[in-house]
Amino acid sequence: MKDILSQAKAYLCVCLLLLFVGCNQKEQKYQAIDTTSEQISELYNRYLTNAITNLDRIDIDELAPEEGQRYYMEARKNFKLLEPILSHSDKNNYKSLNAPNIIQVKGEDTQDTKVIQPIGFQVIEENLYESEIDTVTLKRAINITSARLKLIKENFSLQLKNYHIIWLIRDQLVRIATTGITGFDSPVLNQSLLESAYTYQTLIDIVKMNASKFHSKELMDKFIVSLQQSQKELEHDFDTFDRFSFIKKNTDPQLEMLVEIQKDWKVNFPFEMALSNNMTTLFSEDALNITYFSDRLNDTTNMVEKQIFGKELFNNTSLSKDYNMACATCHVEELAFTDGRKTFDVNQTRNTPTVAYAAYQQSFFTDARAGSLEGQVVGVVKNHNEFNMSMDSIVGRVLKNKKYKEKIADLYGNKRIGMNIRHAIASYIRTLSSFNSKFDKNIRGEENTLTDEEKLGFNVFMGKGMCATCHFPPVFNGTVPPNFNDTELEFIGVPATTDTINPKLSTDLGRYNLFKTEERKHFFKTPTIRNAGKTAPYMHNGVYNTLEEVMEFYNKGGGAGLGLHNDNQTLPFDNLQLSSKEIKALVAFTKTLTDQE
């Protein structure tokens, strides 16, 4: 009996020991997974606390202006160090805190319009460095920004899986190349290069925190060295910085290494956002996930056949009431899918925009009234000056065509015929984004044919000219990278004619016509400038016939520079003071964005 009891006790001890070891191993495993999140959280909290502390030290009533500016600089530095983490974990708050000093209008589409006064670091910066400070506006911006940061800190929780870390790093690499080095969020101090270097430091720290995940230490060291080299290259004058070489020699190789890292870590992604999980270069049709911009995210079967069918419909005049107009009537392939006219006819009031690269947007038509390509098709169909039809009538005409009827049944196999027609046309339009221009091939290293003037043009575009603060690479439209979930509208003060002696603002009220929001008068969507060498005339009213005229308009400061003053103009400059050499270079660069097919 004692032997049995002894054996039972021994067995129980072994079980308890195994249970203890197993639980301890599970706890260690959990801690090993969570350690990186904890370390990143500590980094995050340190920068967040420093930003808050320094903002709270800016006492407008007590401090000399230079002391307040010193505290702001320290707060801004910590905010930028925080950027890679905050922009990943809390996209909406990051966007608000880093927004330009421009009134925001939200909720128009849902008839819950709200006009929101801007907050954040750009607002503080623009007011703090004025010769005569508006203390009321500045205090409000500081107090609300600080309060928002405190709320973020209070509610912050970070649990990062490996794919989150890859996404975080990739987003920041793209953010630096597309907005960070352009002056997008440093309107007064113009210290975008320095601030981009700060964000690289956070990436370096995060990579080091994940050292245990690397099977290849050589790969980790190589990546860190590349990030450190980027920091050194950013120690440069803003106006003369060579952004072309920086992206080619730093950003793209880092994106390549990141793909190697995710293979080294054996990362499995649950899905794909706007940026491709396997992108190795910024300027390629493989860089962006085209389905991210579609109404039918999961409709990817038989896609080539659907695109071919969509092209047939795009060119078919039977979709219009009088059988005299197709999509291709206004969007002519040889003119980069525009029509070469100021306006298409007397019934149209706006210039025909290109549909090339139209896929990479979140709003459509020049006034952004449609939310997808599929939705844009409906707008064209119902427009009395275009197809002048209903979708039911379109469906009827398509189904009368035996071949089309069979194609819809074969390709879609459901009863949503109207949606299927729209999806087919949209799918074809999504193929009109080849990224095979002279510029693309050169920055990818496939050829070396760019002239010094063309390179200068790109660098002016991305820097001193501030063009890229509205026309964001790689698409060069108003859809903001790296998340690509907002397409911006701007009021730049386009005149009615080229008369600069007695200029008058274009009478087209743009976005205002849709919802009558006063703050949206004369606002229009920012279009792509890809293929702009073939899409004259320019602006929503076709007022300018040459790229040189467009550049001169911007160089003078838009409408305000012509004397058409308006408080809501959104250009981030008064005038650019570009030389004739720089203007010629900008034109030369723009022409390198013409697709070679």
What pLDDT digit, counting tens, does each position of 555-595 carry?
999 999 999 988 899 997 789 999 999 999 999 999 999 99
Q: How many residues does the chain have?
A: 597
Query: Greatest CA span in the chain, whole angstroms?
Result: 114
Q: What is the mean pLDDT of residues 118-144?
A: 94
> Counting beta carbons within 10 angstroms of the beta carbon of residue 510, is it exposed (0 to 12), middle (13 to 18) or buried (19 or more)?
buried
29 or 392: which leads in pLDDT: 392
Spatial CB neighbours of 240, under 8 Å, sequence gap ≥ 6: 459
Mean pLDDT of all residues in the chain?
Answer: 93
Q: Is residue 299 over pLDDT 70?
A: yes
Give the pLDDT band (50/70/90) at residue 316. Answer: very high
Pair of tokens at residue 429: 């339009």
User: Do you find a cis peptide bond into 503, omega within 30 degrees of 0?
Assistant: no
The whole-angstrom separation of Cα 200 and Cα 81 is 8
Q: What is the mean pLDDT of residues 323-339?
A: 97
Q: Is residue 210 over pLDDT 60?
A: yes
Report whether 487 contacts 363 (CB < 8 A): yes
Spatial CB neighbours of 365, under 8 Å, sequence gap ≥ 6: 376, 379, 525
DSSP track, 219-273: HHHHHHHHHHHHHHHTSS-TTT--HHHHIIIIIHHHHHHHHHHHHHTT---SS--
pLDDT in tens, 106-129: 999 888 999 999 999 999 999 999
CA 223 to chain centre: 25
Q: What is the pLDDT of residue 365?
A: 96
CA 9 to chain centre: 66
The whole-angstrom separation of Cα 536 and Cα 526 is 16
User: Do you find a cis peptide bond into 482, omega within 30 degrees of 0?
Assistant: yes
Q: What is the mean pLDDT of residues 222-228?
A: 98
Q: Is residue 414 over pLDDT 80?
A: no
Q: Is residue 17 over pLDDT 60?
A: no
Q: Is residue 213 over pLDDT 70?
A: yes
Q: Which residue has tokens 């969020």?
A: 185
Pair of tokens at residue 61: 């009533």
Closest C-alpha to 376, from 368, 384, 191, 268: 368
pLDDT in tens, 55-104: 999 999 899 999 999 999 999 999 999 999 999 999 999 999 999 999 99
The whole-angstrom separation of Cα 532 and Cα 535 is 5
Q: Is residue 28 over pLDDT 70?
A: no
User: Which secondary-structure segment (H or E) carries 122?
Assistant: helix 121-128
Q: Is residue 545 over pLDDT 50?
A: yes
Instruction: Report the share of the chain in percent with pLDDT over 70.
Output: 94
Q: What is the pLDDT of residue 4?
A: 44
Collapsing DSSP to helix, strand or coil, 535 comes out as coil
Q: What is the mean pLDDT of residues 464-468?
A: 96
CA distances for 287 relative to 130, 442, 474, 528, 542, angstroms: 41, 16, 9, 17, 32
CA distances for 174 relative to 288, 394, 483, angstroms: 11, 42, 10
Q: Is residue 170 over pLDDT 90?
A: yes
Q: What is the pLDDT of residue 139?
A: 95
Q: What is the pLDDT of residue 366?
A: 97
Pair of tokens at residue 347: 């019934």
Lowest mean pLDDT among 25-29, 83-87, 529-533: 25-29
Q: What is the mean pLDDT of residues 34-51?
A: 92
Collapsing DSSP to helix, strand or coil, 84 comes out as helix
Lowest mean pLDDT among 11-25, 354-368, 468-482, 551-565: 11-25
Say which amino acid occupies 567.
Answer: D
Task: Classify each residue of 241-272 as buried b or exposed e, where b means 16 or more C-beta atoms within 10 Å of its C-beta.
Answer: bbbbebbbbbbbbbbebbbebbeebebeeeee
Q: Is residue 33 over pLDDT 50?
A: no
Closest C-alpha to 521, from 552, 559, 476, 551: 559
Q: What is the pLDDT of residue 29?
A: 37
Q: What is the mean pLDDT of residues 261-283?
A: 97
Lowest mean pLDDT among 19-33, 44-58, 241-255: 19-33
Angle separating helix axes 402-411 and 391-400, nearest 10 degrees: 110
Q: What is the pLDDT of residue 298?
A: 82
Q: What is the mean pLDDT of residues 361-389?
A: 95
- This prediction has a pTM of 0.92
Q: Is residue 261 over pLDDT 80?
A: yes
The whole-angstrom separation of Cα 436 and Cα 526 is 22
Report whether 454 contacts 585 (CB < 8 A): yes
